[in-house]
Amino acid sequence: MPQATSKLNAFPVFMRVEGEAVAIVGGGQEALAKARLIGQSSAVLRIITDAAEAELLAFIAANGAIHIAAAYDAAHLEGAVMVFAASGDEALDRRVAEDARRLGIPVNAVDRPDLCDFFTPALVNRAPVAIAVGTEGAGPVLAQMLRGKIDRMLSPSLGPLASLAASLRGAERLLPKGNARRRFWSDFFGGAPARAMEAGQLSQAHDAAVDLLLSNAPSSGHIALVGAGPGAEDLLTLRAHRLLMEADVIVHDALVPEAIVAMGRRDAERLPVGKRKGCHTKSQAEINALLIELGRDGKRVVRLKSGDPLVFGRAGEEMAALRDAGIAYEVVPGVTAAFAAAADFELPLTLRGVSSSMVFTTGHDLKGNSLPDWAKLAISGATVAVYMGRSVAAEVAGRLIEAGLSPDTAVAVVENASLANRRRFHGTLADLPSLEVRADLAGPVMTIIGDAVAGANFERSEPLAAHRHEGAAQTAAEGAKR
């Protein structure tokens, strides 16, 4: 376990290079890699080689770099603020390093840490924001892996937002020092200006920043209706994760795993409003009122819903309530349970020549005397994904069989789709009523019905028929009469 007193042998700094010369000695891939790295800055590139490869020559032409097409000489380094020895030849790289030190210029020799005055980091570029990841040369691959993770976390709009912030630094004098300025910048980076920039609306972001500056009032609240996906943390979208990290309050359903809620800010308030079958901690009207209250209090809220908020998530009611109250909101889609269940089964939801359409529904849509339209689509070949259908499995099967769907139609069932403890079952429509008597299924169940299901991978699934209770076919028929 690393000791708390561990100290860095290389201290990270940011060097000013605007308009300054950076010299790179070499003509191959090592020199090209350094040229691409430094080319992200406003430095003047000076590339020294009499044997440049074609790719490096193309880079020089495209980026306006200075090419000294001659054998290396120490005089070529004069006036540079940094030097890279990238020839691939150890003797030449050592000579370059010694010359640079004699001239008082910091030097980096590619893949030769003993010759380096500094190390180049893995760089996350959101200019003018830059994040550098270094390992003191011990693990370049590790640095690249970390860079990739950080890069995915940060919005592409961060750079333009930071540039807009820089343009307002003088105007912040309108605000008194202390809490007022801190509140302004917090609202700037987490409020309306940031949201407008995220949407690519530069002028609206500027106007929102000016309004915020002149009003000297807290930013208005914002609600994000976020899909948490089917349960696996790594199926959460990058945008959803960013919003969770920015949220003041996380309002979450019961089916959202704690591991996903915990991905939010540690100091965020967490409000469970979950609904499970037969157990509602809050009514939908109470949830709507809570979101409006939080929005009016200026809170940044993530309304975290299992799966996708627009698929049986009652997002329509919440959006209507927020619109009527004048509260800003956005919708962030998630991986809905049907897609996760299909992936668990390697099941094609559409299959050329078999099924070209699909239906999302709940088993409770079969209540009443008339068949819903989707049942007719199932008979004509659509793949049907049934949410929350375990307790009405017999009725689903019975009504579909009565309507003309073959009892031999393929069925796939997944409990806890996408999670490590998922369970998979396969069978036919005639086997489906057995789900109702399964006391061992405690998690959410997704059922997929249709001819395309026959193309699934059933190797790691259990047959429904093995649990089919006596008279299942009769139960299905009786379900049709309910």
What is the set of active-site residues?
A: 253, 275
Rounded Cα–Cα distance for residues 90 and 74 (Å): 16
Residue count (the chain)? 482
**277: phi then psi, degrees, rounded to nearest 5:** -55, 120
For residues 112 and 91, give the distance between their C-alpha atoms in angstroms, rounded to a whole number.
Answer: 11
Task: Enter the tokens of residue 369.
Answer: 């005397």
**φ, ψ at 304 (rounded to 5°):** -90, 120
Q: How far is CA 13 from the centre of its chain?
A: 30
Contacts of 409-412 spanning 24+ positions with Cβ under 8 A: 409/449, 409/450, 409/451, 409/453, 410/449, 410/450, 410/451, 410/452, 410/453, 410/454, 410/456, 411/447, 411/448, 411/449, 411/453, 411/464, 412/341, 412/345, 412/347, 412/447, 412/448, 412/453, 412/456, 412/461
Classify residue 172 by its DSSP letter: G
SS3 67: strand
DSSP line for 338-397: HHHHHHHHT--SSBTTTB--EEEEEGGGG-SSSPPHHHHHHHTT-EEEEES-GGGHHHHH
Is the CB of residue 227 less than 8 Å from the CB of residue 336?
yes
CB-CB neighbours of 404 under 10 Å: 11
Q: What is the distance between the alpha carbons of residues 85 and 297, in angstroms, rounded to a whole number?
A: 57
Cα–Cα nearest to 429, from 458, 459, 462, 454: 454
CB 476 within 8 Å of CB 433: yes
| Element housing 426 (H / E) | strand 423-428
Residue type, 3: Q
Q: Are 321 and 294 in contact (CB under 8 A)?
A: no
